[in-house]
Chains A and B, each alone.
Chain A
């Protein structure tokens, strides 16, 4: 599975938009990009998945440029409850055999 690189940590304030970028230079043609969120003492939770261009759901948006070598998770108007670790994963659709997580981005939202 393709290796991903993302910032170790980010800080934000309530109400701001947060963009977390993930690099995946070796992404394969059949790979999808998936983001998971993890709160302390909980298991990861699926946020969003995309293949190209833009995907939006009730939680976040995912922007993927044409070359697909990077992607950006966008969280609109964050709140304190969005403080968590966000993982970018690259692999086959929904990665149904196994997920390979990196160290993730620790987002801290301040009041």
Chain B
């Protein structure tokens, strides 16, 4: 297993355009998380899934943001009508949660979004 992968690694887009990012978690992990990180700050939680169910969404996730995890495997994060303030690193993480046993989150390399 090569770990959590994200695609693309870098994305430059013009303000107002829509963008979509993909995350492939570690194969046996049932939880998937999205975070956003701006320069000089720690990652901020956006949302997470247990299998295909989206269990929590941060207030940071405005109506322009939507995340999906069809079939409980890979996930996509779409940003509509991008704004310059959306420029950030978008990180995906996954973990295994089985009954009373939980394990650490493994992060992907991130997708760096630049909105011009």
A→B interface (CB under 8 Å) = 34, 41-46, 49, 85, 87, 93-104
Contacts and interface: CB of A to CB of B under 8 A. Distances in A.
Given A101-B42, A102-B42, A104-B42, A96 B97 contact: yes
A89 to B, nearest CB: 9
Contacts of B91: 43-44
A43 B33 contact: no
Contacts, number: 62
B102 A96 contact: yes
A93 B102 contact: yes
Interface in B78-97: 91-93, 95, 97
Given A94-B102, A98-B33, A43 B107 contact: yes
Interface of B: 4, 31, 33, 35, 40-45, 48, 55-56, 58, 91-93, 95, 97, 102-110, 112
Residue among A43, A93, A94 with max Cβ neighbours from chain B (10 Å): A43
Contacts of B31: 96
Q: Tell me the dominant secondary structure on chain A's binding face.
A: loop
A97 B43 CA distance: 14
